[in-house]
């Protein structure tokens, strides 16, 4: 019989080792990525909005007829520059002119009656003082003067109204500007309502941008905040400044915002524009490139390179400014964030990291 120790050795030598051999990773097994450290910096929120170029208060004039009338003359075309006081529209006022002539004649008759009544009043007062006429006759003379004076006052008011109608038949430019819109032509019959204007005059040197922002963003925008027009192809952003707090209107989902041009502009009135408006600023915060963040809140994450292994870190994002996004939790400054190759990467994947740029 074999000794026990020798028997165990023989049995052991006769068995097959079934344990898996250790995996040796080759360069082909590693996912190539690029990475760079998260850094501390400052970031400013940018609020995006749309707006339209509009005249400022007092820089727009709409020519409207004072009464139903036919247009006789409109000497300027759309786009023409006109000086202050220039003729814009002349309306047909034949009826008003006729009425004004009749009112002047009526006033002349009322004035003649008043003159005669005053002469009679003076004569009757002299007779009353001498006791030639009765008190009643004196009172009749006084009443005739009062009635004649009332007729003259009414005639003067009517004449002033008719002359004003005649004057309103000629519309002149209240300021120097440009004919922005010509909405009718000579021969057209127009109505005396704001919804039927004849033409629109604007002062191109006094323009602003009127925009709308959400009620959520409105409290973040203060007067004096910088902004830019970003939608003009082939040109640098046009600088603006917020001129007043956003104004919310009851029942509306947006607030209205006014912005002033920092420099003279050649933009045409009614031009639609896209805006970037500066919001609040955070300093000394962790920043990464926006495209390194995969997924959306609350599952947003970045991949961090740790010893040639990709580690998925869930993060909370904050402000965004262009290509940079603030990380408020889940990442520290100096962590090596994967900036290329993160799409489709899995937690724990073996990676080869390119050296970060110096």
What is the mean predicted confidence (pLDDT) over 281-295? 92
What is the mean predicted confidence (pLDDT) over 246-257? 84
End-to-end Cα, the chain, rounded Å: 75
Using left for φ > 0, alpha for ψ between -120 and 50, and beta otherwise, residue 145 falls in alpha
Cis preceding-peptide flag for 58 (omega within 30 of 0): no
Q: What is the DSSP string of 37-57?
A: E-EEEEEEEEEEEEEEEEEPT
- State residue 1's pLDDT score: 45
Residue 342 has pLDDT above 90, yes or no: no
- State residue 113's pLDDT score: 86
Domains belonging to the chain, first-starting first, are 29-42+283-354 (2.40.420.20), 48-58+205-281 (2.40.30.170), 64-91+169-202 (2.40.50.100), 93-168 (1.10.287)
In the chain, the percentage of residues whose pLDDT exceeds 70 is 87
What is the mean predicted confidence (pLDDT) over 67-94? 92
pLDDT tens for residues 91-134?
Answer: 987 666 666 677 777 778 888 888 888 888 888 888 888 878 88
The verdict on pTM exceeding 0.85 is: no
What is the mean predicted confidence (pLDDT) over 340-346? 87
Q: Mean pLDDT lowest for which of 99-103, 149-153, 319-323?
A: 99-103
- State residue 25's pLDDT score: 53
What is the total residue count of the chain? 358
Q: Which residue has the tokens 């006081």?
A: 85
Residue 9 has pLDDT above 60, yes or no: no
In angstroms, the CA 86 to CA 74 distance is: 11
- State residue 100's pLDDT score: 65
- Average confidence score pLDDT of the chain: 85
Give the residue among 280, 294, 279 at the shortest CA–CA distance from 346: 294
- State residue 173's pLDDT score: 96
Residue 19 has pLDDT above 70, yes or no: no
Residue 300 has pLDDT above 70, yes or no: yes
What is the mean predicted confidence (pLDDT) over 158-177? 79
- State residue 190's pLDDT score: 93
In angstroms, the CA 340 to CA 36 distance is: 10
Q: Give the residue, 24 or 192, on which the prediction is more confident.
A: 192
């Amino acid at each position: 019989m074999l000794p026990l120790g020798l028997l165990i050795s023989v049995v052991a030598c006769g068995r097959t080792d079934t344990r898996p051999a250790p995996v040796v990773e080759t360069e082909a097994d590693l996912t190539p990525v690029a990475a760079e450290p998260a850094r501390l910096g400052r970031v400013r929120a940018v609020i995006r909005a749309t707006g339209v170029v509009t005249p400022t208060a007092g820089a727009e004039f709409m020519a409207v007829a004072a009464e139903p009338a036919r247009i006789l003359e409109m000497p300027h075309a759309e786009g023409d520059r006109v000086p202050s006081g220039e003729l814009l529209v002349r309306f047909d006022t034949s009826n008003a002119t006729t009425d004004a002539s009749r009112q002047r004649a009526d006033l002349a008759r009322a004035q003649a009656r008043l003159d005669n009544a005053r002469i009679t009043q003076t004569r009757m007062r002299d007779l009353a003082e001498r006791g030639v006429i009765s008190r009643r006759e004196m009172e009749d003379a006084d009443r005739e003067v009062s009635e004649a004076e009332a007729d003259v006052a009414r005639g003067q008011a009517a004449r002033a109204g008719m002359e004003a109608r005649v004057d309103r038949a000629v519309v002149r430019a209240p300021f120097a500007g440009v004919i922005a819109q010509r909405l009718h032509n000579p021969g057209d019959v127009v109505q005396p309502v704001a919804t039927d204007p004849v033409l629109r005059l604007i002062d191109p040197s006094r323009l602003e941008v009127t925009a709308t922002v959400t009620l959520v963003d409105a409290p973040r925008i203060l007067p004096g905040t910088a902004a830019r027009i970003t939608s003009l192809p082939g040109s640098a952003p046009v600088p603006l400044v917020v001129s007043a707090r956003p104004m919310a209107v009851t029942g509306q989902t947006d607030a209205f915002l006014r912005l002033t041009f920092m420099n003279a502009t050649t933009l045409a009135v009614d031009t639609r524009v896209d805006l970037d408006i500066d919001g609040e600023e955070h300093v000394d915060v962790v920043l990464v490139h926006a495209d390194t963040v995969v997924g959306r809140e609350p599952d947003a994450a970045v991949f961090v390179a740790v010893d040639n292994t990709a580690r998925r870190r869930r993060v909370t994002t904050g402000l965004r400014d262009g290509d940079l996004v603030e990380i408020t939790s889940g990442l520290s400054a100096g962590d090596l964030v994967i900036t290329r190759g993160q799409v489709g990467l899995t937690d724990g994947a073996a990676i080869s990291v390119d050296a970060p740029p110096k």
